[in-house]
Structure 1
């Protein structure tokens, strides 16, 4: 049993699968904090404000693909662990592509009955990394939230003239000096 609390973002559109996945996670994580979303907009909101330790995502979603979720996640936090849990990946080439694109692993939904056994080693790896950073973990999370919210605000600004656009660029550049390797955002 993993005793360290884990923040998990579950990207899943089927409520029955989400309930089952949450039950399986509860078998291996003592205190999971799980948020469920099914689209990119909600996913972005959770990545900015919830800052998960791990993302578990279906591949086929109603409004996007798991690869789009992965790209968004890596854009916001390049160090986040991303696990595909899907019935779609049935060929080795697509599975390899997900890993090469930055996914940390994948599990087929046909193994849902033993999901806890398949997921446990992947989550233990996340915990191992978290324990190594234990002293600064919450500070890093709070800093990521603040930086993400600032970037989100800057993205929402509508620069009316060249000077304003240049100033926004300078702010982004200055903020880049304060980023950690854990949170590389594209400017």
Structure 2
């Protein structure tokens, strides 16, 4: 059993698959905090405000594809682990392409009866990469939430004149510099 609290974003539209996945996660993780969404907009919101440790996503969703979800996740945090859990992809080439696109793992839904066995090593890999110091992880998460909310606000701000656009650009650059120095600090910790 994984003892470190794990924040998981599950992108899935099939209620039965959500229940099976949640039950399996609870068997593997002592303190899971799972948020479930089924579209890009909700996913984007959770990436900004929830800051998961890992994203598990179906490939075929009603309003988008899993690759679109993966691209959104990579835009927000290129290092965030991403696992496909899908029944749509049957061919090995497409599975390989999802891994090449940046997914950390891939599980076919035809293996749902063995989901615990398939998911366990992928989640252990996520935990292995995580900082062991929970206090630092939580502070970093809070900083990411604040930075993401500021970036989201700035992206949605209607800038009508050149001066506003320049100021927004300066703020975004300052945030990027802060993120880079914070990432350096977290690597040293």
Q: TM-score by structure 2 length?
A: 0.92
Q: 135-144 vs 62-71, which deviates more?
A: 135-144
SS at match of 2:3: coil
Shift of 1:133: 5.3
Which whole-Å CA distance do the structure 1 matches of 2:32 and 2:18 have between them?
14
Q: 105-114 vs 124-133, which deviates more?
A: 124-133
Q: 173-182 vs 108-117, which deviates more?
A: 173-182
2:174 counterpart residue number: 174
- Aligned ranges for residues 80-95 of structure 1 at < 5 Å? 80-95=80-95
Structure with more relative contact order (C-alpha pairs < 8 Å, separation 6 or more)? 1
SS at match of 2:61: coil
- Aligned ranges for residues 93-104 of structure 1 at < 5 Å? 93-104=93-104
Gaps in structure 1 of 5+ consecutive residues? 183-187
Shift of 1:166: 1.4
Count of residue pairs the alignment pairs up: 182
Shift of 1:140: 1.0
SS at match of 1:178: helix
- Aligned ranges for residues 76-155 of structure 1 at < 5 Å? 76-132=76-132, 134-155=134-155
Q: 87-96 vs 50-59, which deviates more?
A: 87-96
Larger relative helix fraction:
2
Gaps in structure 2 of 5+ consecutive residues? 185-189
The CA deviation string for residues 25-79 of structure 1, in whole angstroms up to 9 with x for no partner, is 1111111111000000000000010000010000000000000000001100111
1:53 aligns with 2:62: no
The CA deviation string for residues 73-100 of structure 1, in whole angstroms up to 9 with x for no partner, is 1100111110000011211211111111
1:35 aligns with 2:35: yes
Which whole-Å CA distance do the structure 2 matches of 1:47 and 1:104 have between them?
17
Which whole-Å CA distance do the structure 2 matches of 1:74 and 1:133 have between them?
24
2:69 counterpart residue number: 69
SS at match of 1:88: coil
